[in-house]
Structure 1
Amino acid sequence: MSLSLRTLFSTAFAVIIILLTAMLSYVIGNRSTTSVEVGIGSSLAAEANQMSEKLDHFMWSRSGEIEVLSKLNAFQEPVGQVEVGGLLDQLKKSLPVFTWVGFLDKTGNVVASTDQILQGTNISQRPVFQQALKGTFVGDVHDAVLLSKLLPNPTGEALQFVDVSVPVMDKQGQTSGVLAAHLSWEWSREVEASIVNPLKERLKGVEVFVVSKKDDTILLGPAALTGKRMTDAVLQQARSGNSSYVIEQERGRDSYLTGYAYGDGYMNYPGLGWTVIIRQPADIAFASVHQLERFILISGLLTAAAFALIGWLLAGWISRPLRDITRTADLLSSGADVEIPSSTRFKDVAILSASLRGLVNNLTKTETKLSYMSDMALHDKLTGLPNRAALDEFLAHAVSKAKQKRTTLSFLYMDLDGFKKVNDTFGHAVGDALLQEVAFRLMDCTRDNEIVARLGGDEFVIILNTSAGKPMREAEVVASRIISKINQPILIKGEELRVGCSVGAAVWSPDGGDTVETLRLADEALYISKRSGKNRITFEAAS
């Protein structure tokens, strides 16, 4: 089918504008998405961290108050049930969060308590008594069936408490009893409101969760989910100890932009390992980006239509020079190395010719930059090592080869012992230089067909190609070499630094599970190494 010059020219203008619009929409959309993700994600992570710290600070304060109260003479040398009960009632009156406070003798009998609830009852079998005999005890959130029947409960909902108890010592330093308290979990709602309400004014659809470490139970969250078990993968990321954010994308479920933080205690209070998760639906978080993309697309289509009309009107004026340009453009489309011809017949045609040449050059430069950016996206900026994305790509190929050759892959999950001290003592610049040297040493311990990836901070993953017969022995040899290398002194800015490293290992085989599970097992083994004295390798038993 033959097309007129005007049709061809106007169509070419429209196509060029549409392509440029699509490219512009893609680039701006990606950049805007990243900007929104960093901005909102960092805000959610900061709020989660703040709430985690408030929860731990509150528990530290309450346990400290109970401990200070236990030092009073009225408890160390009880002068009367009435006086002790009066002190406890005064504590509850001053701090209503203490739902129940009781003084127990050393056999577990409640000698005195607030409002005389449970007074005279023996609760020696309760953890709040048994654990306090060993030292200060803080228990996780739980239902209290006995107290629920005795305490006022206008809402009718199940009451939940947090236990705090301390041993009471007499003048001779012997345990004479226990001071125990139940804190109403409702105080957590006040902490949530103080942090989340201002956040909800800025961000729509925000949800807050506080999750127990003991059984992944949602202690605080939307009413429909409270008390249920959380299975989200982000929970394990949060328990790594870092405060950060992530985009949750699970098949069959809504996507969320999620900030998280892990409660690791405050001062001398060790914490109960509560995980705070604050999330916002991704479609709400990125709504502004989608609106911008639609605006760009609509504007581009309107611009394309306008240029098509202009092209139609100008086509009769510039027929012959444009035919040459069109022919050359077809050659460029086929991949030929040619240049757009110039024309002196019409000034506008000459400008168009020059503009098209500039466009081709810019597109070539853009393609080169995009290729460079793609490579940078797969490497850690500080150390130059592959990052998590590169690790995933490597594993996809490595697993395929291992299945063909019936060999194994050994996962070494490691982090540095003493790195935080170096950072705190000498500063982050020295810490960064140390990480670069560690990266160099790790590369020196592996072969070309293996990978050393940095996951973040001082955490690294090494994937080794090992045999099917003795993979653990081969991995242990490499791990021992790594530990030896890392233990050697590192000279940075005239300072001789020393760090160690702990390694967790797990072996993947073609008949085993997936690589994600193997990496998780190696991570668990790492924590066993850390708890067992550090600077050693531990193989996960399940591997």
Structure 2
Amino acid sequence: MKRTRILRRAQSLWARVGLRARLEAFILLALLPMVGLVVVLLLQERSQDIERAREATRLLADRGAQQQAQIVQQARSVLQLLTLVPDIREASPGRCATLLKQATDLYPWASGFGVFNPDGRLLCSSNDNRPANLAERDYFQKALATRDFTVSNFLIGQNSKQPRVVAALPILGDDGSVIRVLVGGVDLSWLAELSAEIARESGGIVSLFDSQGTTLARVPDPQGIVGRSMADHPMIGKILREEAGIIEDDGLDGVPRISGFSTLEETGAKIVVAVARDDILAAADRNLLLGTGIMTGVVLLIVGGVWVLMEVMVLRGLRDLKASAAFLSSDFFDPHAPCTPAPVHTSEFSQVALAMRTMGRTLSAIAFEDRLTGLANRRFFEAHVERLQDQPVQDRDPLAILYIDLDGFKPINDQHGHHTGDMVLKEIGNRLARCVRHGDFAARLGGDEFAVLLSVPDGQQGHYARDVARRIIDSVSAPIMADGLDIRIGCSIGTALWPSDAADLTMALQNADRALYAAKRAGRARVVSYSDLPADNAMAT
């Protein structure tokens, strides 16, 4: 009986609920699964942000290790060349020192060269401050024993106080015996520059530890631990036991950090890139809050739209019908009077449809449009690339890919502020849009990086891509008025063709990025096509 009364009371209350309230309740219930799905997707995006941060630290550490390996390999090549010079092989008085000084000035990483007897005595040197005898040095003994190129562990320079390594290459006589040893110092000042650059990119801390755990370099170093042994720290102990990887643990400053690390070849030293985990979570939580806010706004917008729609298209008609029914029931009924005093205007449906389309465009712009320039954003660009990849082969149109990077943009933010920089980027977006045809695809990938996909007939991509690239460079190079300032910047462009340069579109995009890297190295306002790169350079860039 009690259950029956409760059921009847609920039915009575529901019967008193108006049609509009019922429809709103139905819409809210229908939207709940979608809201839940969006929240789940945002939480997954939060997890992906953390995973991306983990992978980024490892990649940045690998980048430092690769640069160290390249410099050591260059040092080996230089020593091999120098051993072929007769005056150096014979340690000719005066002439040998002059040639070694010239070689030191030629290579930025070189701190000096010297020729030594097998007993470790110095014969000639580019630097008068070099030690007179190296007989007891481990790397010198190893070079004599192996008769091959060797590299020392990290050393701290007596004058520069910076980490460096020493490379040694034996000079062999006609009988294969070691007659002299050519030694070169490799200055690692590049490491401080690279560490500062990586620290800016990641917002974290970059450290270099030797194979025993002593801190050789650290950017930034608020605790002043450079020169101190950190081998007893739990995180450093784990790093010293592995070649490369990612570790989540308390950093040297006690802050929970995500640390990517890699081993430097020859020396066994470790380069570590560490970012605060709370900073990554804070950024991810901001994205989660923003997404939730947008979703809440969408739900409120839909509910408000349905409220108005019910009023205009349904409830107004019901009131008219009610008025007609009352009129028909009254004593003043006139058979010639209309049954519906206020007719419903069908144009209201089209108005609502227009409002929904406008809302859809707004939501699409939020998700896929770069708000500053009006171009497609990176997410839209990646989605567009995926659609092109999934097309059947017979339906694919050849593409010319342009990767664009602005020249001289960073000083604008530094000198005039980000507001001026944003105005410049907005104008660059407008100019870029004017340089391409309707149907071509232009996007801002982030910062001062842009991309353009040009659809052109097969066989004409290279010529057309270069023409468009030159047009973009000329347009970007024109003066820009921002905040009353005459701003002048430029851009460098790398191009690649698909499928001419690569059958896979992802590889073609990477080829365009390699070409852009080559254009940046060649100077400002350059266009470099991937097909113009030397084969070995195209693979190594």
TM-score range, shorter chain: 0.3 to 0.5
Relative contact order, CA 8 A, sep 6+: which one is greater?
1
TM-score (norm 2): 0.47
TM-score (norm 1): 0.47
